[in-house]
């Protein structure tokens, strides 16, 4: 009996080895996409009648008269406009979509993990093949989601994650609004830090547990109880500690900031991007331009904060007049030539509606091409992976979308993406 068992074990091992071997030797799929129009976001022009050759997960060649290899899978998008997969630099995929963070207390981490799978899927199917996810209340739910997507357990965009929020105690990224004597589990107060050394310790810890970048909260927030978006939270010393410690591990820092002083503190500290940048003043705009700091301004979500019946009353109070001021400041920053990326704060508006922001970026001073560049080539530059995504170029990941019509004349066409490919695999057609 024992020997029979061993025979079975050996046999199944052999089957497994030959299967693994077959997989590694299988020829990579070659795909040819015929693109009626192709937006070249790097050169800022529209090309016609292009062929995109894809081998496995990568773009192999792009050109007007490429020969399509025999046996290649052919995808005819000759009636469509083809673009690189879009990138949202400010999402919260791994959090509940309730506007009130206290709702997190009603669910276990596992319940939240299951409940948020749909967020990732909706985002990818909307044409966003990559996101920079900038914080989660249950620390490391975002790391788990990123890895689940990468392993193919669930469907979603490529994610770059923060792991948690680094915030002062009671600050914009903290779980606030509870009685003083209610203790929180560690994952709900993970990133609280109250000195430069505590900030460094949090950065080290986040790096150790899989963060791709660091999110700091430089000022108060709209969507946090007991917070004032107009107040400064982290000091310049604490912000500098975050940037310096993150740089030791090759990571970049993004800073949430509404108040003008908090924005300038963050830019001077050397962050890669300022999130929201709501009340940025002329000095802040000049500083961002001079330092090459990206502004990641969520100028659409005001529509969802104001029109959602579930928005808590104190959040509406915080938000008063901030929305329109932010949009006017966006216009100023675009005019001044500051580097701009595309970030929506998705989660405030439903996941998968990210592209609605494009029309607002155009309304407030960008050309459609500039808005598309913010969500492709600029976003890849901000995240630090221009070699991997952000344009339809040989050598990059085959992250490709298509829309009907010409988004350079009507940017709202990006709200109805018809074709989505990520890493050579088709998710929507
Ligand atoms: Zn956010």
Q: Tell me how far apart the alpha carbons of residues 304 and 309 are, in angstroms, rounded to a whole number.
A: 9
Phi, psi of 399 (to 5 degrees): -105, 105
Three-class secondary structure of residue 98 per DSSP = coil
Ligand 1 mean position to 405 CA, how many Å?
32
Ligand 1 mean position to 160 CA, how many Å?
14
Q: Tell me how far apart the alpha carbons of residues 383 and 64 are, in angstroms, rounded to a whole number.
A: 30
Ligand 1 mean position to 165 CA, how many Å?
10
Ligand 1 mean position to 122 CA, how many Å?
18
Ligand 1 mean position to 59 CA, how many Å?
32
Ligand 1 mean position to 301 CA, how many Å?
10
Ligand 1 mean position to 259 CA, how many Å?
15
Phi, psi of 295 (to 5 degrees): -105, 130
Q: Where are the beta strands (DSSP E) in 297-395?
A: 340-341
Ligand 1 mean position to 276 CA, how many Å?
8
Ligand 1 mean position to 90 CA, how many Å?
6
Q: Nearest to residue 71, comparing CAs of 28, 106, 107? A: 28
Ligand 1 mean position to 196 CA, how many Å?
23
Ligand 1 mean position to 8 CA, how many Å?
54
At residue 13, the pLDDT reads 44
Torsion angle of C-alpha atoms 293, 380, 120, 51, degrees rounded to 10: 150
At residue 244, the pLDDT reads 98
Ligand 1 mean position to 131 CA, how many Å?
13
Ligand 1 mean position to 221 CA, how many Å?
9
Q: Tell me how far apart the alpha carbons of residues 162 and 143 are, in angstroms, rounded to a whole number.
A: 8
Residue 361 buriedness (CB in 10 A; 0-12 / 13-18 / 19+): buried
Instruction: Give me 66's structure tokens.
Output: 């490429």
Please give the C-alpha separations between residue 45 and each of 135, 146, 261, 326, 388, in angstroms, as whole numbers. 35, 33, 38, 29, 21
Three-class secondary structure of residue 2 per DSSP = helix
Three-class secondary structure of residue 81 per DSSP = strand
Q: Nearest to residue 171, comparing CAs of 89, 264, 235? A: 235
Ligand 1 mean position to 52 CA, how many Å?
35
Whether residue 138 contacts residue 109, with contact meaning beta carbons closer than 8 Å, is answered with yes
Ligand 1 mean position to 129 CA, how many Å?
19
Ligand 1 mean position to 254 CA, how many Å?
11
Written as tens digits, the pLDDT of the chain (429 aa) is 444 455 444 444 444 444 444 444 456 899 999 999 999 999 999 999 999 999 999 999 999 989 999 999 999 999 999 999 999 999 999 999 887 888 889 999 999 999 999 999 999 999 999 999 999 999 999 999 999 999 999 999 999 999 999 999 989 999 888 888 998 999 999 999 999 999 999 999 999 999 999 999 999 998 888 888 999 999 999 999 999 999 999 999 999 999 999 999 999 999 999 999 999 999 999 999 999 999 999 999 999 998 888 898 889 888 878 999 999 999 999 999 999 999 999 999 999 999 999 999 999 999 999 999 999 999 999 999 999 999 999 999 999 999 999 999 999 999 999 999 999 999 999
Q: Nearest to residue 262, comparing CAs of 292, 227, 290, 311? A: 227
Which residues, chain by chain, have CB under 5 Å from ion ligand 1?
Answer: 345
- Predicted TM-score (pTM) of the model is 0.92
At residue 4, the pLDDT reads 47
Ligand 1 mean position to 373 CA, how many Å?
21
Q: Nearest to residue 32, comparing CAs of 17, 49, 18, 46? A: 49
At residue 14, the pLDDT reads 43
Ligand 1 mean position to 101 CA, how many Å?
12
Ligand 1 mean position to 172 CA, how many Å?
10
Torsion angle of C-alpha atoms 77, 83, 84, 90, degrees rounded to 10: -130
Ligand 1 mean position to 346 CA, how many Å?
7
Three-class secondary structure of residue 33 per DSSP = strand
Ligand 1 mean position to 333 CA, how many Å?
20
Ligand 1 mean position to 163 CA, how many Å?
13
Whether residue 279 contacts residue 329, with contact meaning beta carbons closer than 8 Å, is answered with yes
Q: Where are the beta strands (DSSP E) in 243-374?
A: 253-257, 273-276, 294-296, 340-341
* Other C-beta atoms lying within 10 Å of the C-beta of residue 387: 11
């Amino acid at each position: 009996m024992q020997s029979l068992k061993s025979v079975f074990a050996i046999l199944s091992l052999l089957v497994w080895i030959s299967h693994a071997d077959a997989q590694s030797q299988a020829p990579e799929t070659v795909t040819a996409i015929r693109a009626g129009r192709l937006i070249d976001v790097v050169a800022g022009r529209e090309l016609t009648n292009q062929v995109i050759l894809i081998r496995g997960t990568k773009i192999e060649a792009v050109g007007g008269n490429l020969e399509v290899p025999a046996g290649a899978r052919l995808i005819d998008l000759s009636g469509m406009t083809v673009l690189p997969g879009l990138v949202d630099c400010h999402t919260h995929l791994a959090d509940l979509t309730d506007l009130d963070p206290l709702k997190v207390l009603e669910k276990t981490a596992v319940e939240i993990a299951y409940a948020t799978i749909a967020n990732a899927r909706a985002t990818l199917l909307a044409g966003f093949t990559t996101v920079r996810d900038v914080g989660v209340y249950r620390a490391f739910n975002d790391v788990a989601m990123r890895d689940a997507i990468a392993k193919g357990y669930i469907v979603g965009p490529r994610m770059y994650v923060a792991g948690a929020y680094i915030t002062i105690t009671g600050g914009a990224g903290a779980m606030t609004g509870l009685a003083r004597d209610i203790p929180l589990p560690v994952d709900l107060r993970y990133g609280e830090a109250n000195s430069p050394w505590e900030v460094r310790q949090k950065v080290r810890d986040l790096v150790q547990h899989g963060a791709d970048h660091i999110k700091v909260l430089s000022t108060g927030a709209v969507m946090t109880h007991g917070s004032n978006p107009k107040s400064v939270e982290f000091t310049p010393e604490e912000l500098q500690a975050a940037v310096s410690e993150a740089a030791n591990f090759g990571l970049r820092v993004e800073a949430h900031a509404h108040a003008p002083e908090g924005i300038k503190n963050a830019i001077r500290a050397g962050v890669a991007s300022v999130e929201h940048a709501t009340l940025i003043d002329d000095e802040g705009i000049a500083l961002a331009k001079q330092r090459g700091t990206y502004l990641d301004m969520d100028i659409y979500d005001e529509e969802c904060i104001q029109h959602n019946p579930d928005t808590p009353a104190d959040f509406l109070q915080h938000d008063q007049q901030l929305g329109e001021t932010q949009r006017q400041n966006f216009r100023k920053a675009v005019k001044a030539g500051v580097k701009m990326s595309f970030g929506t704060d998705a989660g405030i508006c439903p996941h998968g509606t990210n592209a609605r922001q494009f029309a607002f970026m155009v309304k407030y001073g960008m050309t459609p091409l500039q808005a598309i560049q913010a969500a492709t080539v600029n976003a890849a530059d901000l995240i630090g992976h221009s070699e991997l995504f952000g344009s339809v170029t040989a050598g990059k990941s085959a992250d490709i979308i298509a829309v009907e019509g010409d988004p350079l004349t009507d940017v709202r066409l990006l709200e109805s993406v018809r074709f989505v490919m990520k890493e050579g695999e088709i998710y929507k057609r």
